[in-house]
Amino acid sequence: MSIEIAYNDAPLGHEIRGVDLSEDMDDATFAEIEATYDRYGTIVLRDQRLTPDRQLAFSRRFGPLDRYVLERYNHKKWPEIFVISNIIGDDGEPIGMSDAGRYWHTDMWLTHNPPRGSILYALEIPQENGEPLGDTYFASTGAAYDALPNTLKVRLDTTKAAFSKRQYAEFRARTNKEIDRPSGQASQQALKDLGDEDIIHDIVRVHPRTGRKCLYLCEGVVSHLIGWDKAESDSMIAFLERHVTDPQFVYRHRWRVGDLVMWDNCACLHKATGDFELPLRRHMHRTTLSSARPSA
């Protein structure tokens, strides 16, 4: 079986058609899907009907999975599924994380070895007047790197950046209007529990599977470029934050129930929008692909 790819105008977010993930898939088809994912950094499969077991089975074909670091948001029965949801449970708390990722970021930049990527499956999507709410934006970090002048590429290639948890906490407190909601408080506490030392990452990451160079940063999180003059570092961080999310590099995903979207944590940044609230419900299951190599 050969997949069909419906390309959009952005450098990522293309749709793979003709694949039913609820059925067993041959190795050749899977290899095409994986190659498309690696190449573009964000792919979309629509009209799926997945149980948690089927989502896990598909996810595991990419290699080992990571459990999300905030354990309270992991599914009780399938703990490798991270629940993103604003539905209130019997205990009066949201049953999943309801305020996840409303800034440009890659997942788990707080760790030294972030996961390869994530697979997000939509079970319930809020709607208003027939239009979906809660879009997710994806920006191609490879296309953004390619568009830089050569002299800047050479300089950034050897630059390391300090990712500041303290600055992130301040950024969230400033920008997240829902910070006083229960899940917001839980997230803040969990963030504190992770410590406050800076995490050092290369500002340019070489994609481990394609070799493509990609910018690596998150909005409001990079405090300084190591070894750079402070003023120059500040202005470069501001420039790169604007540059990497320039509309020419961005795909906007408008969700439908049954969508499965996969993103690569090196090849793109993503950002959720929070333009909905209860009684409009949003409920999703995410699996996280480990950066560890599959065992032979």
Minimum CB separation of residue 107 from Fe ion in Å reads: 4
Minimum CB separation of residue 283 from Fe ion in Å reads: 16
Minimum CB separation of residue 16 from Fe ion in Å reads: 21
Contact 12, 267 (CB under 8 A): yes
Binding segment toward Fe ion, per CB under 5 A, in 35-43, 105-113, 140-148, 152-160: 105-113
Contact 230, 224 (CB under 8 A): yes
Q: Which is nearer to Fe ion, 107 or 259 (CB)?
A: 107
Q: Looking at beta carbons, which residue is closest to Fe ion?
A: 101
Assess 107 for contact with Fe ion (CB under 5 A).
Answer: yes
Tell me how far the alpha carbon of residue 193 is from its chain's centroid: 22
Minimum CB separation of residue 149 from Fe ion in Å reads: 30
Q: Which is nearer to Fe ion, 63 or 101 (CB)?
A: 101
Assess 274 for contact with Fe ion (CB under 5 A).
Answer: no
Of 263, 294, 285, 257, the closest CA to residue 77 belongs to 285
d(CA 139, CA 270): 6
Other beta carbons within 10 Å of 128: 10
Cβ-Cβ contacts under 8 Å for 151 (sequence gap 6 or more): none
Select from 52, 63, 64, 101 the one that contacts Fe ion (CB under 5 A): 101
Assess 66 for contact with Fe ion (CB under 5 A).
Answer: no
Token pair of 187 as six digits: 């997230």
Residues that bind Fe ion (CB under 5 A): 101, 107
